[in-house]
Amino acid sequence: MPRRPHSSPAAASARRPARRAAAVVVAALLTLLGLTAAAPAQADPSPMLAPNFKAPFPCGQQWTYSHHSAEVRRALDFIRSDGGGTAGTPTVASAAGTATRHYQAGGAGNYIVIDHGGGWKTYYFHLASFSVANGASVGQGQQIGVTGSTGNSSGAHIHYEQLLNGVGQDIRINGSALPYPGSYGQYHLRSDNCGNTNFSTWGSGVNVRADARLSAPVVTTLSGPTRVFVECQKQGDVVNAEGYTNDWWSRLRDQRGFISNIYIDHPDAKLPGVPLC
């Protein structure tokens, strides 16, 4: 079988410059024709992932919302629609971050900006008052202000925005985009922005009532210490029990009723970090 002739080192060296020259010519022709190959796309090493934003009002409450044509950026205005009053209701952080306080007389009034990192910020306009210090670190669900009507506002509401690198974004709650209705009452949102409100009860035979009143019907009874999720708290009847006196009551999410804060295993009469009902 005939053997393939070997090229000498000298001949191979002679061919290399010719190949390089040919490659240069081909590259030049491709450039002239606009056919240069694009560099492979690089993955963004630090994508700006949005936090899991939640409603800017307290856990368990239902609010309706709207957007009007003169609204700045992609804001939504929220008012309460569950029978409670809008004015005086806590405004809460929709995600954790660093809160700063601001004031604009002819526009936003008292407002909070929360920097969530990664270019994401949320705005809360027209507050009656602030509930956190300037520069404070806040947790999701923490009260940051009191809903009001300061600045250029015709009535109490929460003007709420989500921004990425200074640009208004379509508002998403729990990852889902909200519609932008032109008037209130078309859409409603119930808040699950409950923060860290898990507590334990103590004592046995603790009655859970339909309201924060001793005369309210009993919904269920806690037979012993129970891990509970507190949606909100409010003042009601004064309770004297186990050597304690307290008029604050907690609404339990899973039991759908109220118990006196005396039976919540926490030293404070009014539970910290729990919104008002």
> Is 42 a residue whose pLDDT tops 80?
no
- With cut-offs at 50, 70 and 90, classify the pLDDT of residue 9: very low
How many of the other CB atoms lie within 10 Å of CB of 126? 26
Nearest Cα neighbor of 142 from 125, 120, 124, 117 is 124
| CATH code for the structural domain at 62-190 | 2.70.70.10
- Cα–Cα distance measured from residue 151 to residue 141, given in angstroms and rounded to the nearest whole number: 25
Rounded to the nearest 10 degrees, how much is the dihedral formed by the CA atoms of 147, 150, 152, 157?
10
Question: Could you give the CA distance from residue 208 to residue 137 in angstroms, rounded to a whole number?
Answer: 34
pTM above 0.85, yes or no: no
Whole-angstrom Cα distance, residue 118 to residue 50? 8
147 vs 152: CA distance, rounded Å: 14
CA distance 174 to 26: 54
- DSSP H or E segment with residue 231: strand 227-241
Task: Give burial (CB, 10 Å; 0-12/13-18/19+) of 202.
Answer: middle
Q: Which of 6-20, 49-63, 104-118, 204-218 has the lowest mean pLDDT?
A: 6-20
DSSP-derived pairing of the beta strands 206-209 and 167-168: unpaired
Q: Which residue has the higher pLDDT, 7 or 74?
A: 74
Give me the pLDDT at residue 196, please.
Answer: 63
